Amino acid sequence: MSELLLQVHDLTLKQGEKILFDALELTIRPGECWALLGRNGAGKTTLLHTLAGIRPVHHGHIKLLEHALADWKPRQRARHVGLLTQDASEGFEASVLEAAQSGRHPHIERWSDGSMDDASIVQNALNTCGLQGFEPRRVNSLSGGERRRLGIATLLAQNPPLMLLDEPLNHLDMPWQWCILHQLKSLAEQGHGLLMSLHDPNMALRSCTHALLIKDNGAWQAGRVEELLTPANLEAVYGFKLRQIHDQHDRWLIPDLQASHTPL
């Protein structure tokens, strides 16, 4: 596998007249897990969709495995990069098993039902996300958290080297948030590359190797989490003061409620 899963050079993204990213430079390698942090509307979803190839690039260059992203055919691209959208599995009129099986479509020849290995990969993905026994249920019968876990299981079944995840912890309760983060961290340790939008910098500190911070007017910062996730840098992102505390094992970032006001 290439040592460079994703290369972004001089990428500028806009939403209308608003500049979301100005001349973004980003490289993701196997084994790296990136947190994408920014305020609501900062451009996290737009960036993920652009890197997945479903939104056009107007200025800049994106390479997947050292080949221009635009040169990949959709089916080939889906074998190497996968996107978990915010509404994954929403309104999916199928069974849980059928939804998870859709993750294997890029790897299976047309008109084929797949192999025993494909079936095993799908079942392992469902088991990993706590959905064993859910296979015959209809997707529209699931709770929001169960649908979220199904979306993640479908991405695990797809098993691309590069995974882009838009709010993977959305709708999950606290135990499942940390369980899924552990699973995603393990994927990076096995050689995948990940970029996922998160809202809690503490989860990024516990689970990610790197972070990309989105600031105002197209400004951004990228680097290792232990260097980048500081109260000063995060205040520049959120406009909200934080303070840092330490326990016997870790450091934590918490709101400084005496110094901050609720953002309007």
CB-based contacts of 221, cutoff 8 Å, min separation 6: 212, 213, 215, 228, 233
pLDDT surpassing 80 at residue 162: yes
pLDDT at 110: 72
pLDDT band at 89 (very low <50, low <70, confident <90, very high): low
On whether residue 135 sits in a domain, the answer given is yes
Q: Which domain holds residue 120?
A: 92-159
Is there a domain that residue 35 lies in? Answer: no
Is residue 129 pLDDT above 80, yes or no? Answer: yes
Identify whether 103 is part of a domain: yes
**Is the model's pLDDT at 260 over the cut of 60?**
no
On whether residue 146 sits in a domain, the answer given is: yes
More confident residue, 166 or 262: 166
Query: Looking at the domain assignment, is residue 106 inside a domain?
Result: yes
With respect to residue 122, please indicate whether it lies within any of the assigned structural domains: yes
Bridge partner list, 18? 15
In the predicted model, is pLDDT for residue 163 greater than 80? yes
Residue 133 falls inside a structural domain: yes
| Over residues 37-59, mean pLDDT | 95
Write down the pTM of the prediction.
Answer: 0.94
> Is the pLDDT assigned to residue 264 strictly greater than 80?
no
In the chain, the number of structural domains is 1
If you average pLDDT over residues 21-42, what whole number do you get? 97
101 within a domain of the structure (yes/no): yes
Nearest-angstrom CA–CA distance, 72 and 66: 11
Q: Which stretch of 85-89, 159-163, 213-217 has the lowest confidence by average pLDDT?
A: 85-89
3-state SS of 112-139?
A: CCCCHHHHHHHHHHHHHCCCCCCCCCEH
C-alpha to C-alpha distance for 9 and 100, rounded to whole angstroms = 34
**Residue 1 scores a pLDDT above 70:** no
* Interval 234-248: pLDDT, tens: 999 999 899 999 988
Split at pLDDT 50, 70, 90, the class of 111 is: low
